[in-house]
Homo-oligomer: A and B are copies of this chain.
Amino acid sequence: MDIREIERFLKFNQIKPSHHRLKIYEYLVKNKNHPTADLIYRELVDEIPTLSKTTVYNTLNLFVEKGAAQLITIDESENRYDADMSIHGHFKCKHCGKVYDFPLNFAAIDMGGLQNFQVEENHIYLKGLCNDCQIQKEN
């Protein structure tokens, strides 16, 4: 996804593609690391010295509001963001802190107890030890 596609994508989602918005969205797309607002700020401020943290927060809130990104609340006290709007699950390693994606067959989730409930969002969060960290502990 190059900068032109990002511009089109933001416009498509009713978001005026200002320079900062383009850069923040580009960061989300290129680094699929589910970053916090603070991390995005720290990563971009060298390249964009005038960037303010408030703008990062404002922009991320706008993305979520317009459906261009999703908010991941996998852990208390840290909001993370993801430009991948497809249905997928997240796994956070308790040891290294990395957040992994995994495919999800949402239809398999049987919501027997929720007849007539209208589902608008789904958040599937797992926690534990990732493959790499398990190997480390064994040695």
Contact = CB atoms under 8 A, between A and B. Distances in A.
Interface string A103-136: 1110011111111111111111111111100100
B94 A102 contact: no
A101 interface: yes
B126 A111 contact: yes
Tally of this chain's copies: 2
A130 B116 CA distance: 8
A13 interface: no
A129 B118 contact: yes
A108 B110 contact: yes
A75 interface: yes
Given A73-B73, A73-B76, A129-B118, A103 B108 contact: no
21 contacts: A73-B73, A91-B111, A94-B120, A102-B114, A103-B113, A105-B109, A105-B110, A108-B110, A109-B109, A116-B131, A117-B134, A118-B128, A118-B129, A120-B127, A121-B126, A122-B124, A122-B126, A122-B127, A123-B125, A123-B127, A124-B125
